[in-house]
Amino acid sequence: MRTFGAFRKTDGTRVYGEVRGNEVHVLKQPFWLGLEPSGENLSRPDLEIAVPVAPSKLIAVGLNYADHIAEMKRTPLGTPLIWFKAPTSLIAHEGEIAIAFPGHQTDFEVELAIVIGPPAKNVSVDSAHDFIFGYTIGEDISDRDLQKSEKQFGRCKSFDTYTPIGPFVYSDVDVTDLEITLRQNRGVKQRARTSQMIYSPAEIVSFASQNLTLLPGDVILTGTPSGVGPICAGDELEARIGDWPPLQNRVRNATQ
């Protein structure tokens, strides 16, 4: 398994690199565009973890775990359900989730996220893995009041800070059967295995590519298991997949 991320130096400069122990080997460009080293190696503890991706499109998949379909009182569609989230909703590890409407029910959803490598258009399921650079941990924060009142899901899930992601992106990793969990204030709220997904990452990438061109760095959230629930100011969320470092974020109310 190889580990990649985005980081900020003390002067605010943003760099992309491969994490090797306590060092970050800086790359000349974002890792999904190529792995040519810049020759600069930095101390990982001296760097701030930034949002590890910069997608042209942030795609979400719904109803991809049977237990979640049941808890949401929905029925399977027979194909993946996809929609778009605004890339401006992304925040990094240890960033603060700001609840846009504190009076609304706003839920957490932990998800495995796919990061696209080469451009993908009309790819088969069998070849889809050739177009996946790697994977990371994501959360799809969702305003349920708006979701219930509107037919489109874009607004209720696209407020600034509503897509925590990271801390890092992992390539050369098998995500077929990993434990996926979310803890709220240290209590486990969601726990499942990626093997329980109705549509695998390869099937999702193939399906999406039949309808639109996936570009390098695009991100696809693959759906959440059951156990979703509301957040409120002061909460601490910790999302884990397998033995990857956890994605940790605090919650506050947005300042209107």
pLDDT at 205: 98
Last residue of a domain, one of 18, 34, 50: 50
Domain count, the chain: 2
Give the CA distances from residue 64 to residues 25, 32, 38, 163, in Å, rounded to whole numbers and listed in that order: 36, 26, 40, 18
Do 20 and 86 have their domain in common? no
pLDDT at 31: 98
pLDDT at 77: 83
C-alpha to C-alpha distance for 38 and 252, rounded to whole angstroms: 38
Domain that holds residue 15: 2-50
Do 41 and 110 have their domain in common? no
Q: How confident is the model at residue 76 (pLDDT cuts 50, 70, 90)?
A: confident
Do 103 and 157 have their domain in common? yes
Do 28 and 92 have their domain in common? no
What is the CATH number for 194? 3.90.850.10
Do 22 and 104 have their domain in common? no
Do 225 and 171 have their domain in common? yes
Do 80 and 188 have their domain in common? yes
Query: How does pLDDT run across 182-231, given as a tens digit for each residue?
Result: 999 999 999 999 999 999 999 999 999 999 999 999 999 999 999 999 99
Do 111 and 81 have their domain in common? yes
Query: How does pLDDT run across 222-247, given as a tens digit for each residue?
Result: 999 999 999 999 999 999 999 999 99
Which string of DSSP letters, residue by residue, matches 21-67?
Answer: TTEEEEESS-GGG---EEEEEEEGGGSEEE-S---S-EEEEES-BHH
Q: What percent of the chain has pLDDT over 70?
A: 100
**pLDDT score of 256 more than 60:** no
pTM: 0.96
Q: Across all residues in the chain, what is the average pLDDT?
A: 96
pLDDT at 152: 87
What is the CATH number for 26? 2.30.30
Q: How confident is the model at residue 73 (pLDDT cuts 50, 70, 90)?
A: confident
Enter the tokens of residue 90: 């992304």
Do 65 and 45 have their domain in common? no
Average pLDDT over residues 100-107: 97
Query: How does pLDDT run across 5-37, given as a tens digit for each residue?
Result: 999 999 999 999 999 999 999 999 999 999 999
Do 124 and 205 have their domain in common? yes
pLDDT at 4: 98
Do 86 and 44 have their domain in common? no
Do 7 and 91 have their domain in common? no
